Amino acid sequence: MNAPERAPVNPLERLKDKGLLKTQSFIGGGWAAGGARFAVANPATRQVIAEVDDVGAAGAKAAVAAAHQAFQTWRKTSPFERAKVLKAWHALIMENVHDLAVLVTAEMGKPFREAQGEVVYGAGFVDWSAEEAKRIHGETLPTPFPGSRGWTIRQPVGVVACITPWNFPMAMVTRKCAPALAAGCTMVLKPAPETPLSALALAELAKRAGVPDGVFNVVCGEAEAIGPVLTGSDEVRMIGFTGSTEVGKILMRQAADGVKRVALELGGNAPFIVMDDADVEAAAAGVVASKFRVSGQTCVSANRVIAQEKVADRLVEALAEKVKALKPGDGFAEGVDIGPLIHDEAVARVDALVRGAKDAGAKILAGGRRLDDLGGAFYAPTLVEGGGYDLDLACFEIFGPVASVYRARDEAEIIARANDTPYGLAAYVYTQDIGRVHRLSEALDFGMVGVNAPMVGSPSTPFGGVKQSGIGREGGKWGVEEFTELKYVLLGGVEG
């Protein structure tokens, strides 16, 4: 699984199956053109690699209509048949890992090795959801009425509109769409304008797998035109979104008029806690794995490393060595650890956070600068220490390759510092004390806690946050149940 050696003018020339490169929206089982087009650029080179049709509000309305019509049949399709179709989709994704990874690296920049890992990870949600389609259960219930029986059934919500981000352009699609389809819902997907090619390739594979026309639709274009159609349509019964808390709040307000269900996976500010009994070397490796994956552009990246004073010096020393060893560059180049940020605006934002910390007295122990000489939207892998917990670097999601380290005295202070944020997605704890494992896991106000583990997501486990980090869960049985309505049935007169 190594990156190809050849360096073509356009990275999309690496595709073995050129039929996976689509530049039109997928509506009702066919490819739909738009009146305008927008450019998709490789952030490692700033080169335009494709132009994609913008179908606007009209395309969104057509997709909703197609999904609504298809729902009438798909909802009644046997869960075993739905599972069969999803299994076929999964098999095709796995057969095309190389090409799908090419698309991911070309349009969002992550190293090719990471992109391959994302495709496999995303395929896992399709496979898991296919199995869960056959395990959507109801219950029999006791009733207070003589001669009656009660039970529950789970039924699909209806047409679901999902808006996915650019940082995981494959996995965020499958993590939402596969469980929705498994539950019997139909889907209108709007991918990020930075990374539409991955979603369109998945649509092509879904078509080849036998997903019926109208069940899975992908609309590309400006959010300002498409979003209000999806949130305002009476035929759309649920909105799913992964992205910033600010945009999530807007979608939630728009969905409120139709009392639509929302599933929101929003921003994070993950603490990475290293206690004084931790394996410091393992903790340092964990910070690097958590923080610098996707160049720090994940919602569960370690945002604040909080070290107990006794081990802080050793941790900082180990981290500085590891961060300095990371190699930034084009994701298709051999040996690259850190790809570009998604665009130049992201680089400017990260640089401003680091400069603000430095001005406030923080020490820059590695990196701390733009890498304009690399020809793309690059920022150096960076390690910052100190400057105070009130820094923007500590209070806001960095979304870049910057690890910041803070010191704390004891367990009580660490818990207070970690919870001092409106966000509550993921937290990490490194300790070898089993009592601390329980105390900290229970005290941390986050939806997910990784103990001696730098990553928390998988197809079989619940993923989601509390507070302003979102509503609902993805993954496991919970991810499929998210797309169902629970109905209670009471039957009287059973005994005459």
Q: Per DSSP, what are the bridge partners of residue 206?
A: none
188 alpha carbon, distance to own chain's centre: 17
Three-class SS of residue 37?
strand
Q: Which of 177, 185, 220, 299 is catalytic?
A: 299
Q: Which of 265, 385, 397, 411 is catalytic?
A: 265
- Taking phi over 0 as left and psi of -120 to 50 as alpha, with beta for the rest, 118 belongs to alpha
Q: DSSP letter at 16?
A: S
* Nearest Cα to Cα of residue 465 among 481, 486, 491, 444: 444
How far is residue 274's CA from residue 496's CA, in Å, rounded to a whole number? 66
120 alpha carbon, distance to own chain's centre: 14
Give the phi and the psi of residue 130 in degrees, each rounded to 5. -60, -40
Close Cβ partners of 276 (under 8 Å, ≥ 6 residues apart): 308, 309, 310, 311
157 alpha carbon, distance to own chain's centre: 22
Query: Would residue 299 show up in a list of annotated catalytic residues for this protein?
Result: yes
Helices 79-95 and 196-209 pack at an angle, to 10 degrees, of 120
How far is residue 468's CA from residue 454's CA, in Å, rounded to a whole number? 22
Query: Would residue 395 show up in a list of annotated catalytic residues for this protein?
Result: no
CB 130 within 8 A of CB 208: no
* Nearest Cα to Cα of residue 2 among 295, 332, 292, 339: 332
Q: What is the 3 state secondary structure string of 108-143?
A: HCCCHHHHHHHHHHHHHHHHHHHHHHHHCCCCEECC
Structure tokens at 307: 């070290």
CB 425 within 8 A of CB 448: yes
How far is residue 239's CA from residue 339's CA, in Å, rounded to a whole number? 31
The string of DSSP codes covering 313-345 is HHHHHHHHHHHHH--B--TTSTT--B---SSHH
The string of DSSP codes covering 330-399 is -TTSTT--B---SSHHHHHHHHHHHHHHHHTT-EEEE--SB-GGGSSS-B--EEEE-S-TTSHHHHS---
- Other CB atoms within 10 A of residue 113 CB: 18
Q: Per DSSP, what are the bridge partners of residue 345?
A: none
How far is residue 496's CA from residue 486's CA, in Å, rounded to a whole number? 28
Q: Which residues are tagged catalytic?
A: 265, 299
